[in-house]
Chain A
Amino acid sequence: MEFTKIYVGVLYLVVVITSLIFYLNNYYIIASLLILGNVLPGYKLAVSLSGNHEN
């Protein structure tokens, strides 16, 4: 479980850094897509990891 938490943390970082690089290279649509496509599953996973299940 500890490894999974670290791995998920790395994935969050990958999304942020990749989006930032695309944004800085003026590829705004791709940067936005990367953020928008990951924000909901990323949020849901963060809730799941914190142990606050909806149901």
Chain B
Amino acid sequence: MIDQAIYRRFNHTVAACFVIYFLFPKYILNFDRVYFVIIFWLSIILIEYFRLSGAFTLDGMRDYEDTRVAGFVWFATGTCMILFFYEIGMFPEIFAVSTIIMASFVDPLIGEVNRKYGNRKGFLAGLIGSFVIYQLIIGVIFYAFVGSMVAVIVERPKFKWLDDDLLIQIFPILVMTIFYFSGLGPDLPLTLEGN
């Protein structure tokens, strides 16, 4: 029997591979690549609709997800939102790439450390993990600090109809973007090529 918790964690960390999107050409088969994001998101919604209606079961689900929208839907929604807003020029590429990777790794990291060592160490592990990832990719301590702080703060509260898988992506990138475009944050290369 597969370990459901580990299976769920691995699915979460593999989601970091979504960043391959940024290496895709702008047009695929004459269609703007953003259409593929929308098709992907609709496919996830369709799968979730049939899962919730009992048409099939999926491994790795939590018990309470039998009657609630599953974490993978929230995560895919957050990632697709980032990719969509990146395409319309709202989010800089460097923030989008780093946030998707950070959320993929840090959320399961916090979950594991919380489970084994308690919430305070989970918070600390999440803060260090997200700071290191942001610093390695963005290379500016200010944004690494802001992004990691926001990520661990929004991961804490639990809501029935809003999941941390979505919040841990949208809020850090939103706050970093506001700091950047308002001029309150330092300047930085906005693309992967610039780093």
- B19 touches A (CB below 8 Å): yes
Q: Using a CB-CB cutoff of 8 Å, which residues 7-53 of chain A contact chain B? A: 8, 11, 14-15, 18, 21-22, 25, 27, 29-30, 33-34, 37-38, 41-42, 44-45, 48-49, 53
Q: Using a CB-CB cutoff of 8 Å, which residues 6-55 of chain B contact chain A? A: 6-7, 9-14, 16-17, 19-20, 23
Please report the C-alpha to C-alpha distance between residue A49 and residue B2 in the assembled complex, in whole angstroms: 6
Q: Which A residue sits closest to B112, measured CB to CB?
A: A41
The answer to whether A14 and B14 have CB atoms under 8 Å apart is yes
Least CB distance from A33 to B in Å reads: 6
Partner among A25, A33, A45 whose Cβ is within 8 Å of the Cβ of B10: A45
The answer to whether A22 and B16 have CB atoms under 8 Å apart is no
| A29-B59 CB under 8 A given contacts A45-B6, A45-B7, A48-B3 | no
Tally of A-B Cβ pairs under 8 angstroms: 72
Please report the C-alpha to C-alpha distance between residue A11 and residue B17 in the assembled complex, in whole angstroms: 10
Contacts of B13 in A (CB 8 A): 37-38, 41-42
Partner among B14, B108, B137, B192 whose Cβ is within 8 Å of the Cβ of A11: B14
| A30-B19 CB under 8 A given contacts A37-B101, A37-B105 | yes
- B133 touches A (CB below 8 Å): yes
Interface size class of B (residues with CB under 8 A): 20 to 34
Least CB distance from B168 to A in Å reads: 15
- B136 touches A (CB below 8 Å): yes
| A1-B2 CB under 8 A given contacts A30-B101, A38-B10, A41-B10 | yes
The answer to whether A48 and B101 have CB atoms under 8 Å apart is no
Contacts of A45 in B (CB 8 A): 2-3, 6-7, 10
Contacts of A8 in B (CB 8 A): 7, 10
Please report the C-alpha to C-alpha distance between residue A13 and residue B17 in the assembled complex, in whole angstroms: 11
Contacts of A22 in B (CB 8 A): 19-20, 23
Contacts of B99 in A (CB 8 A): none
Q: Which A residue sits closest to B9, measured CB to CB?
A: A41
| A48-B23 CB under 8 A given contacts A14-B17, A38-B13 | no
Q: Which B residue sits closest to A24, measured CB to CB?
A: B23
- B104 touches A (CB below 8 Å): yes
The answer to whether A48 and B2 have CB atoms under 8 Å apart is yes
Ordered by A's residue number, 6 sampled pairs between the chains whose C-beta atoms are within 8 Å are A37-B16, A38-B10, A41-B6, A42-B10, A44-B6, A44-B10
